[in-house]
Chains A and B, each alone.
Chain A
Amino acid sequence: MKPNLAQQTTGGTPQDEPVQKTLKQWLLEYRLVLIVATVDLLIWIFASAQAAPVIHNTWDYLIEMVVILIPVAVLMGLFEVWVPKQLIGKYLGHESGWKGILLALLFGAAPTGPLYVAFPIAAMLLKKGASPLNVIILLNAWAAIKIPQLLVEANFLGPSFMLVRLALTVPSAILMGWLIQKGIERTGGLDIDLVGSENIS
């Protein structure tokens, strides 16, 4: 039942895809890059005075990005093999208190896949008895304070930007979880079927 997050992290490659990709698949995957490269080429041919700053800026950002992307990718790999995700659901219940909140924050911030991967996981956690408070915190953290994203943020926008945003986002995420939990309690519970239907893999 454990979803393989790494597979879904990698931007839509199906699980049983053979390693060798056809030329057509490559072209499809890199179509946006090809379009940009074509525009670059046209600029170089027809407006060569503009080409130098374009190439210069592209190169600078390419280096900067690749340099940070390498440790970010390794971090994703480490998390995937190191952390037992099945256990997490157990510790997010209604009585979990600050420990549950902390775990929800950490699990949300952990280097996993894009947000749409988190929805079925959140539904599964709710079914297993996690509180709405913790689930909302998990989703908020997943969306806005992912560790790889924080690393990139600190590199590009500066550590102070990253820290100020983090310091504001964490309490907001918790406060929202609390507000929504109160709202759900007052209006008679969740409006989804927690018994069956939902299946995560």
Chain B
Amino acid sequence: MSSTLTWNTYVIVFGALGILALRDRAKAKQAVKIAVKSFFGILPIMLAFIGLIGLLLGLVSPEVIVRYLGQGAGWWATLTAFVLGVVLYIASLVSIPLAASLLRAGASMTTVAAFITGLLMVNTLTLPLEIKHLGKKMALSRNLLNLVFAFAIAIIIGMVLQ
């Protein structure tokens, strides 16, 4: 766990808020208001996912996770995780703790990275909306290219950090 990093984040973010408060009290108040709103906006889905992670880690033994998602599980596990990432729609702030829980329980780096890059870079669920706003050319080519790049990036992350 990176507690120094967390501390630095607090210092920087709240330092910036302090500076804003000194310069413009009304704006700082508005920022806090938006912050509270954002926090409680994401809280329901966040709590639900934390509950799911708790269930997953509490009920599924690490041995099982290692067997199906670990180093030995091979390419199929990576490919499955990638496809799941591509088709699912999970907010990244929520999916990253989930991916981390699998990694800590013994899933392989490549598989976890494939899940994350697929999830973040290929936006299947919102594709119809993207086509509506930006046209087929742009939307389809963007997602197709991202599909290729996402897989490549996951493989490289796996090689670098394994």
Contacts and interface: CB of A to CB of B under 8 A. Distances in A.
B59 A191 contact: no
B51 A37 contact: yes
Interface residues of A, number: 88
A97 interface: no
Interface of chain B, main secondary structure: helix
| Interface residues on chain B, size class | 35 or more
Interface string A66-104: 011111111111101110000000000000000000000
A28 to B, nearest CB: 9
A123 B132 CA distance: 10
A123 B47 contact: no
A74 B161 contact: no
A30 B135 CA distance: 36
Contacts of A191: 135-138
Interface of B: 1-2, 5-6, 9-10, 13-14, 16-17, 20, 27-28, 30-42, 44-48, 50-55, 57-59, 91-93, 96-97, 99-101, 103, 112-113, 116-117, 120-121, 123, 126, 129-130, 132-138, 141-142, 145-146, 149, 153, 156-157, 160-161
Contacts of B112: 157
Given A11-B44, A50-B59, A74 B51 contact: no
